[in-house]
A = this chain, B = another copy of it.
Protein backbone atom coordinates (compact mmCIF):
# COMPACT_ATOMS: atom_id res chain seq x y z
CA UNK A 1 0.00 0.00 0.00
CA UNK A 2 1.44 3.34 -1.03
CA UNK A 3 1.28 6.70 0.71
CA UNK A 4 -1.42 8.05 -1.59
CA UNK A 5 -3.76 5.25 -0.71
CA UNK A 6 -2.99 5.61 2.98
CA UNK A 7 -3.90 9.29 2.89
CA UNK A 8 -7.03 8.73 0.83
CA UNK A 9 -8.20 5.92 3.07
CA UNK A 10 -8.19 8.39 5.93
CA UNK A 11 -10.07 11.08 4.02
CA UNK A 12 -7.04 13.30 3.73
CA UNK A 13 -6.26 15.19 0.55
CA UNK A 14 -3.05 14.24 -1.15
CA UNK A 15 -0.88 17.35 -1.14
CA UNK A 16 2.81 17.48 -2.03
CA UNK A 17 3.63 18.56 1.52
CA UNK A 18 1.81 15.58 3.02
CA UNK A 19 3.38 13.14 0.62
CA UNK A 20 6.83 14.37 1.55
CA UNK A 21 6.08 14.25 5.28
CA UNK A 22 4.94 10.65 5.00
CA UNK A 23 7.92 9.82 2.81
CA UNK A 24 10.36 11.24 5.36
CA UNK A 25 8.60 9.39 8.16
CA UNK A 26 8.79 6.19 6.15
CA UNK A 27 12.49 6.60 5.40
CA UNK A 28 13.56 7.97 8.79
CA UNK A 29 11.49 5.75 10.98
CA UNK A 30 11.48 8.17 13.92
CA UNK A 31 11.77 11.91 13.73
CA UNK A 32 10.97 14.93 15.86
CA UNK A 33 9.20 18.07 14.71
CA UNK A 34 12.33 20.16 14.30
CA UNK A 35 14.22 17.62 12.25
CA UNK A 36 11.15 17.01 10.14
CA UNK A 37 10.91 20.75 9.50
CA UNK A 38 14.57 20.93 8.51
CA UNK A 39 14.21 17.94 6.21
CA UNK A 40 11.31 19.59 4.42
CA UNK A 41 12.90 23.01 3.91
CA UNK A 42 14.89 22.14 0.82
CA UNK A 43 11.86 20.84 -1.04
CA UNK A 44 9.38 23.38 0.37
CA UNK A 45 11.20 26.58 1.34
CA UNK A 46 7.94 28.30 2.23
CA UNK A 47 6.50 25.47 4.27
CA UNK A 48 5.45 26.62 7.72
CA UNK A 49 5.78 24.92 11.05
CA UNK A 50 2.03 25.40 11.49
CA UNK A 51 1.42 23.11 8.54
CA UNK A 52 3.64 20.45 10.04
CA UNK A 53 1.90 20.63 13.39
CA UNK A 54 -1.53 20.51 11.78
CA UNK A 55 -0.57 17.50 9.71
CA UNK A 56 1.13 15.62 12.51
CA UNK A 57 -1.89 16.19 14.72
CA UNK A 58 -4.45 15.05 12.17
CA UNK A 59 -2.35 12.02 11.27
CA UNK A 60 -2.08 11.10 14.93
CA UNK A 61 -5.84 11.50 15.34
CA UNK A 62 -6.42 9.27 12.33
CA UNK A 63 -4.14 6.82 14.12
CA UNK A 64 -1.76 6.12 11.32
CA UNK A 65 0.95 8.11 13.03
CA UNK A 66 2.17 7.44 16.57
CA UNK A 67 3.87 9.66 19.09
CA UNK A 68 6.79 8.11 20.94
CA UNK A 69 7.97 9.57 24.23
CA UNK A 70 11.63 8.97 24.98
CA UNK A 71 13.03 9.90 28.39
CA UNK A 72 14.90 13.22 28.28
CA UNK A 73 14.35 13.67 24.53
CA UNK A 74 11.86 15.46 22.34
CA UNK A 75 8.88 13.42 21.22
CA UNK A 76 9.37 11.57 17.95
CA UNK A 77 6.81 10.32 15.47
CA UNK A 78 6.59 7.13 13.47
CA UNK A 79 4.13 5.55 11.06
CA UNK A 80 1.92 3.24 13.10
CA UNK A 81 2.73 -0.43 12.97
CA UNK A 82 2.30 -3.52 15.11
CA UNK A 83 3.18 -2.78 18.75
CA UNK A 84 6.90 -2.90 19.33
CA UNK A 85 9.64 -1.67 21.62
CA UNK A 86 12.27 0.99 21.06
CA UNK A 87 15.98 1.08 21.67
CA UNK A 88 17.74 4.43 21.73
CA UNK A 89 21.40 5.34 21.75
CA UNK A 90 22.10 8.04 24.31
CA UNK A 91 25.15 9.20 22.33
CA UNK A 92 23.85 9.64 18.79
CA UNK A 93 20.09 9.38 19.43
CA UNK A 94 19.62 6.61 16.90
CA UNK A 95 16.32 4.86 17.55
CA UNK A 96 15.53 1.37 16.37
CA UNK A 97 12.43 -0.80 16.61
CA UNK A 98 12.60 -4.25 18.09
CA UNK A 99 9.95 -6.91 18.39
CA UNK A 100 9.97 -8.60 21.75
CA UNK A 101 7.66 -11.20 23.16
CA UNK A 102 6.39 -9.30 26.17
CA UNK A 103 3.55 -11.69 27.05
CA UNK A 104 5.36 -12.95 30.14
CA UNK A 105 5.97 -9.57 31.75
CA UNK A 106 2.60 -8.29 30.56
CA UNK A 107 0.87 -11.15 32.36
CA UNK A 108 2.99 -10.59 35.41
CA UNK A 109 2.08 -6.89 35.31
CA UNK A 110 -1.63 -7.74 35.09
CA UNK A 111 -1.31 -10.13 37.98
CA UNK A 112 0.54 -7.69 40.21
CA UNK A 113 -1.46 -4.59 39.35
CA UNK A 114 -4.93 -6.14 38.95
CA UNK A 115 -5.33 -3.73 36.04
CA UNK A 116 -6.88 -4.72 32.76
CA UNK A 117 -3.90 -3.87 30.58
CA UNK A 118 -3.89 -3.40 26.84
CA UNK A 119 -0.97 -1.37 25.53
CA UNK A 120 2.63 -0.96 26.58
CA UNK A 121 5.39 1.50 25.94
CA UNK A 122 8.90 0.12 26.29
CA UNK A 123 12.10 2.04 25.68
CA UNK A 124 15.61 0.75 26.32
CA UNK A 125 18.46 3.16 26.67
CA UNK A 126 22.09 2.46 25.90
CA UNK A 127 24.92 2.81 23.41
CA UNK A 128 24.70 1.64 19.82
CA UNK A 129 27.37 -0.52 18.17
CA UNK A 130 28.66 2.47 16.16
CA UNK A 131 29.23 4.64 19.20
CA UNK A 132 30.74 1.72 21.08
CA UNK A 133 33.31 1.35 18.29
CA UNK A 134 34.17 5.03 18.41
CA UNK A 135 34.75 4.86 22.13
CA UNK A 136 37.19 1.99 21.76
CA UNK A 137 39.12 3.83 19.07
CA UNK A 138 39.65 6.77 21.38
CA UNK A 139 41.38 4.80 24.09
Partner of A124, one of B89, B99, B117, B132: B117
Could you tell me which A residues sit within 8 Å of B by CB distance? 67, 69-72, 85, 87, 89, 96, 98-102, 104-106, 108-110, 112-129, 132
Contacts of A106 in B (CB 8 A): 124
Residue in chain B with minimal CB distance to A68: B71
> Cβ of A125 and Cβ of B120 under 8 Å apart?
yes
* Number of copies of this protein chain within its complex: 2
Residue in chain B with minimal CB distance to A100: B105
> Cβ of B98 and Cβ of A109 under 8 Å apart?
yes
> Cβ of A127 and Cβ of B116 under 8 Å apart?
yes
> Cβ of B117 and Cβ of A87 under 8 Å apart?
yes
> Cβ of A87 and Cβ of B67 under 8 Å apart?
no
Contacts of A70 in B (CB 8 A): 69, 121
User: Closest Cβ of chain B: how far from A38's Cβ, in Å?
Assistant: 24
